[in-house]
Amino acid sequence: MKNNVPDILLIYTGGTIGMVKDYESNALKPFDFDNIKLKIPELKLLDCRIETTAFSNPIDSSDMSPKYWVMIAEIIEKRYQDIDGFVVLTGTDTMSYTASALSFILENLSKPVIFTGSQLPIGDLRTDAKENLITAIQVAAARKNGVPIIQEVGLYFEYKLYRANRTTKVSSEQFEAFESANYPHLGESGVHLNFNEQWLHKADNGLSLKLEKNLNANVVILKLFPGINRNMVEHILNFKGLEGVILETFGAGNAPTDRWFSDILKKTIDREIPIINVTQCTSGGVLMGHYETSMQLKEAGVISGKNITTESAIAKLKLLLGRKIPFQDFKLKFETSLRGEMD
């Protein structure tokens, strides 16, 4: 930061926000992100210096993968000393997965990393991209008494700032595309940009940023549905190389009481493969043992995901498996909040 003006790095990975409409063909096409200041001249009015960097081949967020999560983290690590706040632009479809994963990969983060994107491309007349981008930059640049107000990974969308690892994409149509059902939003943009200070993470500034890049690839999400049968479950849980499972259950963590089902789970856990119980509901969490229909999961040694989102759970599972912690310690580790992702 020179002359008290924060330095912000905009990282464009792809997605609708960086596209323009070709009004002749009506098709959406990516534009050269280095020209962002020409597309949004208002950026020059912001009280910060903005640098940009982009993936050489921007991707639709459906093509996002852990390889790209690590690439984003490495861009942040490389510029961490001289940049005061980061804004990461991705497509909205998998933004909650990416932003949650980054919250785990970036250990000891004490600067803002704000994800945003848009439902309509920047070149569209009714675009939501301008507001999302401009305010995300302001959030990343916001400081109080010389320190950044946000010291964690956030997601800013349609006037609200959320803790990234609490979010889920809930609409492919509404501008209000994200929700954080189990944690209050961190801030909102109205006439003023307000932060809800009591909900913000306070970083320990004595610790330096570390990247945890070792993410295990051999994990699955198994979503239950009425009628799921033994063949299907056996097939998924017996695939060679499986190392961890997110089990999406009904309501407060409930599942069929058939004997075959709990037997397969027990056998999987005996192979030292952790199974995490998360709810299919958007809000609330898992309370194993509350109903008879979750007792057998508890007895089989299934781990509680409490009120974590599936997007966060898969990233946390990959990260903890990557740490190669002893199997008997895994349950306690998973059930403990690492980055404010559950309570």
Residue nearest ligand ASP by beta-carbon distance: 91
Q: Does 60 bind ligand ASP (CB under 6 A)?
A: yes
Q: Which residues of 253-276 are buried (b: 16+ CB within 10 A; e: fewer)?
A: bbbbeeeebbebbbebbeeebbbb
Cβ closer to ligand ASP: 173 or 292?
A: 173
Query: Looking at 93, 152, 158, 341, which residue binds ligand ASP (CB under 6 A)?
Result: 93
How far are the Cα atoms of 12, 59, 190 from residue 91, in angstroms, in the given order?
Answer: 10, 8, 24
Supply the minimum distance, in Å, between the C-beta of residue 30 and ligand ASP: 11
Supply the minimum distance, in Å, between the C-beta of residue 168 and ligand ASP: 14
Query: Looking at 12, 33, 50, 61, which residue binds ligand ASP (CB under 6 A)?
Result: 61
- Which residue stretch of 69-77, 90-98, 128-136, 142-150 sits at the interface with ligand ASP (rule: CB under 6 A)? 90-98
Please give the Cα distance from 301 to 35 (Å, whole number): 54
Supply the minimum distance, in Å, between the C-beta of residue 129 and ligand ASP: 10
Roughly what angle, to the nearest 10 degrees, separates helices 310-322 and 327-334?
Answer: 150
Cβ closer to ligand ASP: 115 or 334?
A: 115
- Which residue stretch of 86-94, 159-167, 197-205, 321-329 sits at the interface with ligand ASP (rule: CB under 6 A)? 86-94
Cβ closer to ligand ASP: 170 or 325?
A: 170
Q: Which of 13, 16, 135, 279 is catalytic?
A: 16
Supply the minimum distance, in Å, between the C-beta of residue 85 and ligand ASP: 22
305 contacts 221 by C-beta, under 8 angstroms: no
Query: Looking at 8, 10, 12, 15, which residue binds ligand ASP (CB under 6 A)?
Result: 15
Q: Which residues contact 265 (CB under 8 A, 6 or more apart)?
A: 237, 247, 275, 296, 297, 300, 302
Catalytic status, residue 16: yes
Interface size with ligand ASP, residues (CB under 6 A):
9
- What is the pattern of x (binds ligand ASP, CB under 6 A) and - over residues 250-289? ----------------------------------------
Query: Looking at 9, 30, 92, 248, which residue binds ligand ASP (CB under 6 A)?
Result: 92
Cβ closer to ligand ASP: 173 or 204?
A: 173
Strands of 93-218 (E only): list them.
106-107, 113-116, 143-144, 147-148, 153-157, 160-163, 168-169, 178-179, 187-189, 193-195, 210-211
How far are the Cα atoms of 48, 78, 129, 232, 315 from residue 186, in angstroms, in the given order?
Answer: 22, 27, 20, 41, 22
Supply the minimum distance, in Å, between the C-beta of residue 154 and ligand ASP: 18
Q: Does 16 bind ligand ASP (CB under 6 A)?
A: yes
Q: What are the strands of the beta sheet with 7-12, ordered from one edge?
A: 49-54, 7-12, 85-89, 113-116, 153-157, 160-163, 187-189, 193-195
Supply the minimum distance, in Å, between the C-beta of residue 92 and ligand ASP: 3
- Which residue stretch of 8-16, 23-31, 137-145, 313-321 sits at the interface with ligand ASP (rule: CB under 6 A)? 8-16
- Residue 8, amino acid: I
Roughly what angle, to the nearest 10 degrees, separates helices 259-270 and 292-300?
Answer: 20
Q: Footprint of ligand ASP on residues 104-123 (CB under 6 A)? A: 117
**Consecutive H or E run containing 311:** helix 310-322
Nearest Cα residue to 297 out of 326, 262, 334: 262
Please report, as ranges, the residues that interact with ligand ASP according to CB under 6 A. 14-16, 60-61, 91-93, 117
Residues with active-site annotation: 16
